[in-house]
Amino acid sequence: MKKFFTLSIACLFFAVAHAQQLSPAQLFPGLFQAVQLSGVYPDNKTFVDALPKQDPAIILKAYNQQKNKPDFDLKQFVDAYFTAPGSGSNNFTSDVKAGIREHIDTLWQVLYRKHNIVPPYSSLIALPHDFIVPGGRFREVYYWDSYFTMLGLKQSHKNQLIKNMVDNFAYLIDHFGFIPNGNRTYYLTRSQPPFFAMMVSLLAKIESDTVLVHYQPELLKEYAYWMSGTNNLKNGQAFKTLVRLNDGTLLNRYWDTSDQPREESYKQDVAAAKLTKQKLPDFYHNIRAAAASGWDFSSRWFDASGKLETIQTTHIIPVDLNCLLYHLETVIAQSYALQGNTAQKQYYQAKAAERKKAILAYCWDEKAGWFMDYNWKLQQVSPVETLAGVFPLAFGLASKTQAESVAQKLKTKFLKSGGLVSTVNRTGQQWDAPNAWAPLEYMAIDGLEKYQQKELAKEVAERWIVINNRVFEQTGKLMEKYNVLDTDVKAGGGEYPLQDGFGWTNGVLLDLMNRYHVNP
């Protein structure tokens, strides 16, 4: 009897664990679509983060029995069977008089999440260590956000938390073969900008270079994810995240394996699809690939019309993505050098050298004096100048002349009263003008510093610190993005209201205030 009981418990645990790998759309077919299209919740992310009160099979059976009854009320049903998620930061406002530094210090506690709090059937994926979330509607860990959050944690001397978060990402790589967009089941079809090597390098600066060797297995798995299909890919073709150009050059793009509307933005994607001329699977791949880029959405991914329905993300080889993969290749090479493995060190150094050559050949636009994305379908640089063009400076890929050209254009075209705009195009999308984002400000400042453009770097940093502090004094909050053109107006655009918290804003702001010795 005891053996049977133990076996039953084990089977139950397996069933729950298996269910937790299924997304809400997979767990609740029919009900999911009805809820997301109905407007029961104003934000589609609410339902996919909601907690089922019973086994999904029981809920789905009840829905199918009741849905066609004359008095059926979908909202009442959802309220009866699901618990809507709360926000851990929206209701928090610190004492403005205490200052922005104390606010950030307190926010680390507000944004802190315990690793073991994942109820059965939640869309949340359990992690082995505690972590920091961005804030607002973003109640889970996010991949590229976390690097910039870690910059602030380092300034706050929370080094153990940085290690915990790096270990969480290593766990995700080991468990899924890549780092998902976030630790939710509905994010298991895509990754995000690959900053894991940057996180490992940051931790190595805190501890020692042996960190690079410790995480070498995960660095290699991350690289394998991005380079999957290398051996079988023909010239002029793409496979998932990989593109082989007509001359055999290998570069990368963003990709999501699903060709369905995003679960967390289902209603918006279905509505947008009605306007496109693309085949629906292609359109959804493009929408999802832009989400994988972190730049969701921007004219960067559109045709000359600047409209969302023309999105062509899978045609674009992003300059920033390939710079990050260049860095990954160099870090893997360093890890092998530390082991005395000369052959593997040279192999990855060669890969990095090949990628650098390709970035300079395909992404540098001499006429524009700027690093651009490359449209591999049209075999030409993308016409939209974006702040992603600073990444070759941040990773030391640019020549001195190229860096001077980029610095000049930053000063004359991108620099506004509150900082650097992501693009100069006003499309209503949140990654276009008039908005600016902490991670791009940081990468630009870092790139300028590397090429001795110190005066401009400091000017950008000081303008960014000023607008962050001004909004804080007005609202008691730090935001996910800022309007740097109309600095008296909140940033806007995109699929959801402006969020506060905010992990990467806190991290970058604290780093810059300490770097430039600013005490607002």
Q: Which residues are catalytic?
A: 296, 480
What are the residues facing 52 on neighbouring strands? Answer: 82
CA within 13 Å, CB half, 222: 31
Neighbouring-strand partners of residue 380:
375
Distance of alpha carbon 320 from alpha carbon 401, whole angstroms: 19
* Residue with token string 């790998």: 21
Provide the 8-state DSSP code for 331. H
Partners of 51 in beta bridges: 83
Angstrom distance (rounded) from CA 130 to CA 165: 7
Let me know: does 139 contact 122? Beta carbons within 8 Å.
no
Residues 46-79 as b or e (16 or more Cβ within 10 Å = b): bbbbbebeeebeebbeebeeeeeeeeeebeebbe
Q: What is the DSSP string of 142-193?
A: BHHHHHHHHHHHHHTT-HHHHHHHHHHHHHHHHHHSS--SBSBGGGTTB--S
**Two structure tokens written together for 415:** 């620099």
Sign of CA dihedral 80, 261, 320, 176: positive
| Cross-strand pairs, 381 | 374
CA–CA separation, 172 vs 189, rounded Å? 13
Q: Which of 413, 405, 402, 406 is nearest to 389 (CA)?
A: 406
Quickly count helices (H) and strands (E) in the chain.
21, 16
| Cα distance between residue 362 and residue 357, in whole Å | 9
